[in-house]
Chains A and B, each alone.
Chain A
């Protein structure tokens, strides 16, 4: 039970405002939500869409223009389109699984628009049948390597071509940026999303293997197992800061550190779509302006590096699904909207959002310009999208070659975790189930440990937390972790600040430079240690500690990922904690989504 509420003092409020608001971009990392038009569909044929996150705003605008217009009227009735955000990889898995739990995952889509056509091939390959036939591309954007301009210039940009090979060479140089005359920037740090969820991550991983083999087309499964390809991929992955399900996490963190003048030591390069570089430089790093948010031009702009070996395009297809939940009437209705978005006037909107139009009648122009850090005449070469069977093998291979993680799970077992949820089970029951399920996402050589926290814990050396399972190889202690999580039950208060500080310090003391070092904190409440008088001081001290360890060329980054669980969590504080370590905050205000959220959190490792 949370015994008392915590009120943010003036000083703390100021800090939080600086950390969380008015900086241009939310640090919210919860990638999947329902964004569809809330308007009344009436008797119209409803076309639900699952849309990758970077284009949800654009497609919502197009759908709102379309719904209720003459364009939505057909000989057989009207059409009503409802876009909802769903990351490409998550949607692919849901389609393979038959789109379970619509109350959590949203209604099953008629149109699936992942960021790239390759996802359709992956789904068909995994199912052994075609449920995702080739779709008509909607708009285009190439994969680029975003770099802060001073760093790109240090590598010879814009005159010298820069390729994946150059990035790998720098990443593996023990001197890091000192090798090109900039020791103040520390080691080369790469931001790359998890290829199981994100198209940028998938395309970058494909490009790794092409660079390793010297090919630009015809990648085979045999190529993936060649020793030099395996070594090359492992070298690239070793430079990764952390993974994650969406590129916006990196861009928001870059933007937040830009305010403090430390962006050059957070990440040296991040694999993103060209459109994201434009958004960042226009002061809107995640491409979505929240109400009251004002764009702010960054102090250090990003530039897009188009790899000299070639790159891959995200072609954003409209895939009209051929599966049991889609009727012929819905398919016909989907084609009406598909034709609508290809019209020149709507392709002009595509361009205004920083994507390249798919209709050749609309030529590339502003905002795709040098002023925004991108080059409309690039890329000059492309890499071929591999066959679906090869794509599936790439994902399998990545799971083995990705950077290993060292993670401490910190679980709130305060009294309020015993509150019942809609399905009758307690919040703690759902959290335990999700945490145990999430353990399956780690690979055997990852190190994982478990702390639980509440105050007045009897028998623990520190009454505010219990180190239940020390951090160690999960391959050896998976059963122990599962059992330990399952044994937990609700107790007392929520000493959030104290436990955040101590768990962070514990991970910093055992820092392993060859791994992603992280703490994952799940809590449903506000700081409540029985003494509210020192909360402001505690908060300030904790944030200072987290920042001090995370900034600078010689930093030893321990990322603290936070989960707001239930509607009573102190989301503002949890966002500030995540941002202080350039990590991410996740929203599970609806306890039913905790399984999904845990999956997204673990995608960082």
Chain B
């Protein structure tokens, strides 16, 4: 009796498992990926929340870009009904993660609608020190050698935090891209990311934390736009090499139409919040490189 019941269970599990496998194979064979349905939600990166507040056509969800990225990389994620206001190359990173997990790619169509340079923000006295020691176009090698506490936003989740770390990593060797498995590079980057613990970030972003708690760090890495309109006169900005811009993109699933009105409202909101028009000369970051640096951060913390 027990044996027959067990047999029945085994057969049932096999049938269910087979059905799942067949469905996956069918989806993988479909070159167009999942079909785009109606867009039902606007998902905004935290740094862009103010601009999303003006959108009335769609329900809005505010979350860290990295949180959305991880959600979209999940097998159960519905990536076909969201409009995503985030940073380049997060949409490509989502597709890359899904492909790596043998899931159908969403194939986001991303349009750049705003931009702001990644910068070092610090009290003017610290900016002067950086200028005197490292020049007007400081390299990350020089800045990291100044014994300053440098704060990044929570790198695995924050979009601008990750882009800031990418800039630092790419600046390790001004002559070329670093080898990520190089021990010297890893020690250098580890010291950098450990100089300010993420738990010290009381205001979410490093720049906000620095402005509300100047004792928390010496330098914050983020976008110039994050300084906002309430920028304090006793804070200054330096641009480290290589110059990287945080390009804000509005990404829609393949086949879905980008709602013009929403895009217009977002552009206006971003400009009002200190973001600039997109820079056509800005060179796009490679999604795989950014993902690799994100993974490296996890390893080094």
Interface residues of A (CB under 8 A from B): 75, 117, 136-137, 140, 142, 217, 310, 313, 315, 356-363, 378-382, 384-385
- The answer for the CA separation of A356 and B214 in the assembled complex, in Å, is 12
The interface residues of chain B lying within 8 Å CB-to-CB of A117 are: 199, 202
Q: Which residue of A lies closest to B203 (CB)?
A: A358
CB pair A384–B197 under 8 Å, yes or no, is: yes
5 extra interface residue pairs, beta carbon distance < 8 Å, beyond A356-B213, A358-B212:
A117-B199, A313-B216, A356-B212, A382-B213, A385-B197
CB pair A360–B228 under 8 Å, yes or no, is: yes
Question: What are 14 A-B interface contacts by the 8 Å CB criterion?
Answer: A136-B204, A310-B215, A313-B202, A313-B213, A313-B216, A356-B213, A357-B212, A358-B202, A360-B203, A360-B212, A361-B230, A382-B200, A384-B199, A385-B199
Instruction: Flag B167-207 by CB within 8 Å of A: 1 or 0 each.
Output: 00000000000000000000000000000010110111001
Query: B residues 200-243 with Cβ under 8 Å of A?
Result: 200, 202-204, 207-208, 211-213, 215-216, 228-230, 232
Contacts A360-B230, A363-B230 hold; do A382 and B199 have CB atoms under 8 A apart?
A: no
B59 to chain A, nearest CB (A): 8
CB pair B200–A385 under 8 Å, yes or no, is: yes
The interface residues of chain A lying within 8 Å CB-to-CB of B228 are: 360-361
- The answer for the CA separation of A511 and B91 in the assembled complex, in Å, is 72
The interface residues of chain B lying within 8 Å CB-to-CB of A75 are: 59
The interface residues of chain B lying within 8 Å CB-to-CB of A359 are: 203, 212
Summarize B's interface: helix, strand, loop or mixed: loop
Contacts A360-B208, A361-B230, A384-B197 hold; do A140 and B215 have CB atoms under 8 A apart?
A: no
A404 to chain B, nearest CB (A): 34
Interface centre among B202, B203, B228 (most CB of A within 10 A): B202
CB pair A137–B202 under 8 Å, yes or no, is: yes
Contacts A140-B213, A313-B213, A357-B212 hold; do A363 and B204 have CB atoms under 8 A apart?
A: no
Q: Which residue of A lies closest to B210 (CB)?
A: A360
The interface residues of chain B lying within 8 Å CB-to-CB of A380 are: 215
B44 to chain A, nearest CB (A): 13
The interface residues of chain B lying within 8 Å CB-to-CB of A315 are: 202
CB pair B215–A137 under 8 Å, yes or no, is: no
8 Å CB contact of B215 from A358, A379, A385: A379
A223 to chain B, nearest CB (A): 16
The interface residues of chain B lying within 8 Å CB-to-CB of A362 are: 230
The interface residues of chain A lying within 8 Å CB-to-CB of B216 are: 313, 382
B87 to chain A, nearest CB (A): 21
A600 to chain B, nearest CB (A): 29
A383 to chain B, nearest CB (A): 10
Q: Which residue of B lies closest to A381 (CB)?
A: B215
- The answer for the CA separation of A384 and B202 in the assembled complex, in Å, is 12
The interface residues of chain B lying within 8 Å CB-to-CB of A384 are: 197, 199-200
The interface residues of chain A lying within 8 Å CB-to-CB of B232 are: 360, 363
The interface residues of chain B lying within 8 Å CB-to-CB of A382 are: 200, 213, 215-216
- The answer for the CA separation of A96 and B272 in the assembled complex, in Å, is 45
CB pair A140–B200 under 8 Å, yes or no, is: no
The interface residues of chain A lying within 8 Å CB-to-CB of B211 are: 360
B73 to chain A, nearest CB (A): 20
- The answer for the CA separation of A315 and B59 in the assembled complex, in Å, is 31
- The answer for the CA separation of A381 and B229 in the assembled complex, in Å, is 27
- The answer for the CA separation of A217 and B208 in the assembled complex, in Å, is 21
Q: Which residue of B lies closest to A134 (CB)?
A: B199
B119 to chain A, nearest CB (A): 16
The interface residues of chain A lying within 8 Å CB-to-CB of B230 are: 360-363
Q: Which residue of B lies closest to A360 (CB)?
A: B211
The interface residues of chain B lying within 8 Å CB-to-CB of A381 are: 215
B224 to chain A, nearest CB (A): 14
B193 to chain A, nearest CB (A): 13
Instruction: Flag B55-89 by CB within 8 Å of A: 1 or 0 each.
Output: 00001000000000000000000000000000000
A291 to chain B, nearest CB (A): 35
The interface residues of chain A lying within 8 Å CB-to-CB of B229 are: 361
- The answer for the CA separation of A136 and B62 in the assembled complex, in Å, is 13
The interface residues of chain A lying within 8 Å CB-to-CB of B204 are: 136
B126 to chain A, nearest CB (A): 13
The interface residues of chain B lying within 8 Å CB-to-CB of A378 are: 215
- The answer for the CA separation of A485 and B207 in the assembled complex, in Å, is 58
A5 to chain B, nearest CB (A): 54
The interface residues of chain B lying within 8 Å CB-to-CB of A385 are: 197, 199-200
Instruction: Flag B272-300 by CB within 8 Å of A: 1 or 0 each.
Output: 00000000000000000000000000000
The interface residues of chain B lying within 8 Å CB-to-CB of A379 are: 215
Query: B residues 148-170 with Cβ under 8 Å of A?
Result: none
